[in-house]
Structure 1
Amino acid sequence: MDLKQLLEKKGFICDMDGVIYHGNRLLPGVKEFLDWLQKEEKNFLFLTNSGQNTPRELQQKLERMGLAVDASHFYTSALATAHFLNSQAPGCSAYVMGDHGLQNALYDAGITYNDVNPDYVVVGEPAGYGLAMITKAVRLVNAGAKLIATNYDLTGPTESGIAPACRALLAPIELATGKQAYYVGKPNPLMMRTGLKLLGVHSEDAVMIGDRMDTDIVAGIESGLDTVLVLSGVTTREECLNFPYRPRLILDGVGDIPAAAQTLAL
């Protein structure tokens, strides 16, 4: 796939952290990319492994950065986790290690909070993460609760550098219990299939844009989408060589896409 073929795609699934922003800092070329998506009437979906915020909050976050995007264009690992648990065990309960984005998604799906004898221990990326929380989770899993993680990210980009993400926070619980968590977010095909359904475009006509080889790019490949790695997040061009699979295209950032459209139109 070259840039011309990329421009012809009907649907765009985009990661957010490292692709659209770092923390509260908008990345270069993002406004132009979004303007191009809307002008060309492309179907697009922001599919994020972060479950800290609700779609409405993500909409407002982009609004503060000067971007107007409807809340229907966002799908998070928190929503995917809530959907998965509700399909597995409707009316179940969970001890939740996560912020309000995850808690709200579970509540809306009818899953109640339970720190005594829950069916599940659900781990996201809580701001108040600490030993007391880990210890409670370990005891509940040892007592029979099933271990669920919202996403497979080991680290994530922030304004001030790389920070530990869900898989790193989950490691002590897995090590202490000897139990392996089930990871719901990318690269799990469950989340990608739901994303494609929300996008309303067949996988052959869609592209996955992300900054991580081990979640975004492998998720796109395994779901039959073309893939674009942007170097604006955690993965470098050199690090790509460590993986047994490749993105179809590597760009400095999403701003390269509208720039290419402008060049080809001349």
Structure 2
Amino acid sequence: MSEMKHVESWLTDMDGVLVHEHRALPGAAEFIEALMTSGRRFLVLTNNSIYTPRDLCARLRAGGIDVPEEAIWTSAMAAAQFLDGQRHGGSAYVVGEAGLTTALHEVGYTMTDVDPDYVVLGETRTYSFEAITRAIRLIEKGARFIATNPDPSGPSAEGTLPATGAVAALITRATGVAPYFVGKPNPLMMRSALNRIDAHSESTVMIGDRMDTDVVSGLEAGMRTILVLSGSTKPEQVDRFPYVPTRVMDSIADVVPLVGELSPAQ
């Protein structure tokens, strides 16, 4: 327990930690309930930019996990916040869905395909070749290239789907321009999450299921990390990385007692 003392805030990944293909994982509901009861500040993070926080809140609730809407932080929201800080009131051509367009609208961005400041690429289940072609031509004309996350693929009930990173690679191959990725493993996503809940990295723990995104971004942001083995990274893969998490646990169910033991009363 010594390495987990002075924990005031928690960040946790969503897919592979709390849910798997929208089904709640054992212990997920209890973990969120323990956080709510303890009064600890927390955020649920996701690189998926398809859904708005309200959408995700409803999907989690359908699986029995009651997460407040304000406790969800997506790569789309982080990207919108980043762009607002870079070029306030700017314009963007967006390849993505409601989670991304809503986040950009909320920071005052205009959606346009006429000389936009940025091309912003996010997640969608129906990538349009026409939209990708338009994005390529706008980048060639000088639009700056932003992508919500570098994940090359994602899961579905039918099997693997190409994701933002794969489509970004296609656009980069066509234009010679690489995007700036805002989401994990960029520690910018973690810093924006910490700022959102007014938390400090030294007293915050990041929980994730991937060594190459969750753990490394938490580490680079100065947080302690917990890897759970219920998602992407398998036990035999952990030692292959040049960095280690603070703790490795089987699932989020094993983290629940930590929240109670580290409650404010302690």
TM-score (norm 1): 0.90
* Shift of residue 130, structure 1, vs aligned partner: 3.2
Change (3 A) 1:99 1:187: same
Which residue of the partner structure matches residue 72 of structure 1? Answer: 70
- Out of 48, 55, 58, the residue aligned to residue 56 of structure 2 is 58
Residue equivalent to 1:155: 153
Which of 59, 70, 92 is the matching residue for 1:94?
92
SS in 1 for 2:202: helix
The residue that corresponds to 1:244 in the other structure is 242
Alpha-carbon distance in structure 1 between the residues aligned to 2:70 and 2:258: 27
CA distance in 2, matches of 1:263, 1:48: 27
Contact 1:220–1:227 (Cα < 8 Å) also in 2: yes
Q: Report deviation, 1:133.
A: 2.1
The SS at the match of 1:232 is coil
C-alpha root-mean-square deviation of aligned residues, in Å?
Answer: 2.2
Task: Give the whole-Å Cα distance in 1 for the aligned partners of 2:260 and 2:87.
Answer: 50
How far off is 1:179 after superposition? 0.7
State how far apart, in whole Å, the 2-side matches of 1:63 and 1:113 are. 31
Q: In the TM superposition, what whole-angstrom CA distance separates every residue of 1:196-224 from its partner, at most 9, and x where no partner exists? A: 12233321111000111222111110111
Q: 1:14 to 1:160 in 2, by over 3 A?
A: farther
Q: Deviations over 1:40-61 (max 9, x none)?
A: 2222111211111111222212
Deviation at 1:165, TM superposition (A): 2.4
Q: Distance in 2 between matches of 1:111 and 1:261?
A: 39
For structure 1, which segment, 187-196 or 88-97, has the greater mean C-alpha deviation from structure 2 after superposition?
A: 187-196
Do 1:17 and 1:156's aligned partners in 2 also have CA atoms closer than 8 Å? no
Note the residue ranges of structure 1 that are not aligned, 5 or more in a row: none
State the alpha-carbon separation in 1 of the partners of residues 114 and 259 from structure 2. 56
Residues 1:39 and 1:118: Cα distance change in structure 2 (over 3 Å) = same
Note if contact 1:153-1:215 (Cα within 8 Å) is conserved in structure 2: no
Alignment length (residue pairs): 262
Q: What SS does the aligned partner of 1:51 have?
A: coil
The percent identity for this pair of structures is 47
| 1:22–1:158 Cα contact (<8 Å) kept | no
SS in 1 for 2:235: coil
Q: Report the 3-state secondary structure (helix = DSSP H, G, I; strand = E; otherwise coil) of the residue aligned with 1:127.
A: coil
Please tell me whether residue 230 in structure 1 is matched to residue 224 in structure 2. Answer: no
Q: How does 1:1-266 map to 2 (within 5 A)?
A: 2=1, 5-6=3-4, 9-159=7-157, 161-258=159-256
Moved more, 55-64 or 101-110: 55-64
- Once residues 26 and 181 of structure 2 are traced to their aligned partners in structure 1, the CA distance between those partners, rounded to angstroms, is 31
Relative to structure 1, the CA distance from residue 157 to residue 237 in structure 2 (aligned partners, 3 Å threshold; closer, same or farther) is farther
Q: Is the 8 A contact 1:22 1:157 kept in 2?
A: no
Q: In structure 2, what residue type is equivalent to 1:253?
A: S
